Amino acid sequence: MLNIQDLHVQINGKEIIKGLHFSVNKGEVHAIMGPNGTGKSTLANVIAGKEQYEVTGGSITYKGLNLLDLAPEDRAREGIFLGFQYPVEIPGVSMTNFMRTAINEQRKYKGLPPMAAGDFLRYMKEKQQLVELQDKLSNRSVNEGFSGGEKKRNEIFQMAMLEPELAILDETDSGLDIDALKIVANGVNKLRRPDNATVVITHYQRLLDFIVPDFVHVLYEGRIVKSGGKELALELEEKGYEWIKGI
C-alpha cells in the first residue's frame, strides 16, 4: 500500500530524514518509536503533504500512485489520514461545518452526491459515540479551547468520520489519561479492517498493549535503524534509546 524508498527530507536547508525505507501493507499495524527530534513527525507530515518540507531524494508510492505528485487534499481523498501531534485551533470554523465540507469534498472526489444534512448529523453522532466525544464539542470551533485530551480524541473522531485507508497517528496517545487512552485505542481497533492500515507514532509501550502492532520500528536520526515485532517495544522500554545509539 505504502512504499517509501531512500527518502531524504529537508526543512530550511537542514536534512531531517536521511535515507529512510519504510513500507506498509493492507491490514497491518505499524508502530514507530524513537527519541525526540529524530524526524517522526516530519515523516508523517511529508506523507500527508505538508508543503514546508522539501523532499530532496527518494520516492513514496501509495496504492501505485506517486504520492509526492499529489496535493495534500488529494492524498486525503485517496485515503490518507494524519492524526496531528499538535492539532490546530481554527477559530470561527465549527467542527460540524469542517467535517461536512471535508466529507462532501471526499464524496465528490469519489463521484458520490453530497450527504443530506440529516444523514450527516446522524452519521456524526454515531462516530462521536465511538470515541465518546462530547456532543457539545461539535458545535464549537475546530479545536478551539479544547483540552489536550479532547484534541486527541477529536483527531480519532475525524478519522472515524473519514474512514481512511492509511491512518498515521502521531502521538495520539500523549496527554491522554488511561481511560481516554483505552477509548482512543478502542476507536482505532473498531475501525481496523483487512483493507486498511495504521501507523502509530508513540513514545509509550503502554499504547501498544491496546493497539497491538504487527511491526515496531525505531526511527533514529532520520532513518529506521531497527525493525521487529511487538516485543521490540518492550525491549526498548527496558533498555532505552542508548541501546539503539550503540547499534
Ligand X SMILES: Nc1ncnc2c1ncn2[C@@H]1O[C@H](COP(=O)(O)OP(=O)(O)OP(=O)(O)O)[C@@H](O)[C@H]1O
Please count the residues of this chain forming the interface with another protein, following the rule CB under 8 A.
38
240 lies in the site for ligand X, by CB under 6 A: no
Which member of 85, 154, 198, 205 binds ligand X (CB under 6 A)? 85
12 lies in the site for another protein, by CB under 8 A: no
Distance from C-alpha of 205 to C-alpha of 65, rounded to nearest angstrom: 33
CB burial of 64-83 (b: ≥16 within 10 Å; e: otherwise) equals: eeebbebeeeebbbbbbbbb
> Binders of Mg ion among 35-74, rule CB under 5 A?
40-41
How distant is the alpha carbon of residue 75 from its chain centre?
13
Of 230, 215, 156, the C-alpha closest to 189 is 156
65-66, strands of its sheet edge to edge:
14-24, 2-11, 54-62, 65-66
Distance from C-alpha of 153 to C-alpha of 179, rounded to nearest angstrom: 12
| Least distance CB 33 / another protein (angstroms) | 23
Which lies closer to another protein via its Cβ, residue 154 or residue 205?
154
Which lies closer to another protein via its Cβ, residue 20 or residue 95?
95
> Binders of another protein among 37-66, rule CB under 8 A?
48-52
| Least distance CB 20 / Mg ion (angstroms) | 15
Distance from C-alpha of 26 to C-alpha of 131, rounded to nearest angstrom: 23
Q: Is there a contact between 233 and 202 (Cβ–Cβ < 8 Å)? A: no
Distance from C-alpha of 156 to C-alpha of 195, rounded to nearest angstrom: 18
Helices (H) then strands (E): counts for the chain: 9, 12
Which lies closer to Mg ion via its Cβ, residue 85 or residue 158?
85
Which member of 36, 88, 231, 238 binds ligand X (CB under 6 A)? 36
CB burial of 168-179 (b: ≥16 within 10 Å; e: otherwise) equals: bbbbbbbebeee
119 lies in the site for another protein, by CB under 8 A: no
Which lies closer to another protein via its Cβ, residue 125 or residue 239?
125
Contacts with Mg ion, 76-105, as mask; x by CB under 5 A: ---------x--------------------
| Least distance CB 36 / Mg ion (angstroms) | 8
Give the footprint of ligand X on this chain (CB under 6 A).
11-12, 16, 34, 36-42, 52, 85
Give the footprint of another protein on this chain (CB under 8 A).
48-52, 71-73, 75-77, 81-82, 84, 87-94, 96-102, 105-106, 109, 138-139, 141-142, 158, 162
